[in-house]
Amino acid sequence: MYKKILIVEDDLKTLSSIYTLLKQHGYEVQTLREAEYVFQEVTAFNPNLILLGALTPGANGAMICAALKSAPNTSKIPVISVLGNKKSLNRLFENADCSPDDFILKPINPQVLLNKIEYRFLAN
C-alpha cells in the first residue's frame, strides 16, 4: 500500500524540496500551489496525509486546516502545517477552529519532517 501525501504549498522552492525528499523515501506525492483546489485534489488523490503551508494563494493555511478538519470526509486525514516562522505559528493557534495534527517550521529539517510523517502514519 502506498502512503499518499498531498503537499499544499505556495513557495516553489519549499514545495520542490519536500516533493523530492518524499519521493526519494517511497511516498506517492501530489502537489498543489493553489488553495482553492484543495478539496478537489483531496477527492481526486485521496491522500493519507496533508502537508499544508501557512499561506497559500487564495486562503491561509489556518482557514484551510479548519475546513479540512470540519468536513466529515476529510476530518480524519492528518494535517501537518508547514510554517514559515514563529509568527505563523502564533497565527495558526489563534484560530480556534484550526487544529493541525502537527507542525514544522521552515527551514525544514528533512529527518524531522520524515519522523513526523512516519509518526502520523503509525498513529493512524
All structural domains of the chain, each given as residue ranges with its CATH number in brackets, are 4-123 (3.40.50.2300)
Per-residue pLDDT tens over the stretch 77-87: 999 999 887 67
How high is the pLDDT of residue 36? 84
- Which parts of the chain sit beneath pLDDT 70? 1, 55-58, 86, 89-97
Helix axes 61-70, 38-45, angle to 10 degrees: 50
How high is the pLDDT of residue 34? 84
Q: Which of 45, 46, 101 is nearest to 78 (CA)?
A: 101
Amino acid, res. 46: N
How high is the pLDDT of residue 63? 85
How high is the pLDDT of residue 55? 67
Q: What are phi and psi of 25, to 5 degrees?
A: -100, 15
How high is the pLDDT of residue 51? 97
Per-residue pLDDT tens over the stretch 113-124: 999 999 999 987
| Cis preceding-peptide flag for 107 (omega within 30 of 0) | yes
Question: Which residue reads 524540496 in cell numbers?
Answer: 17
pTM given for the model? 0.92
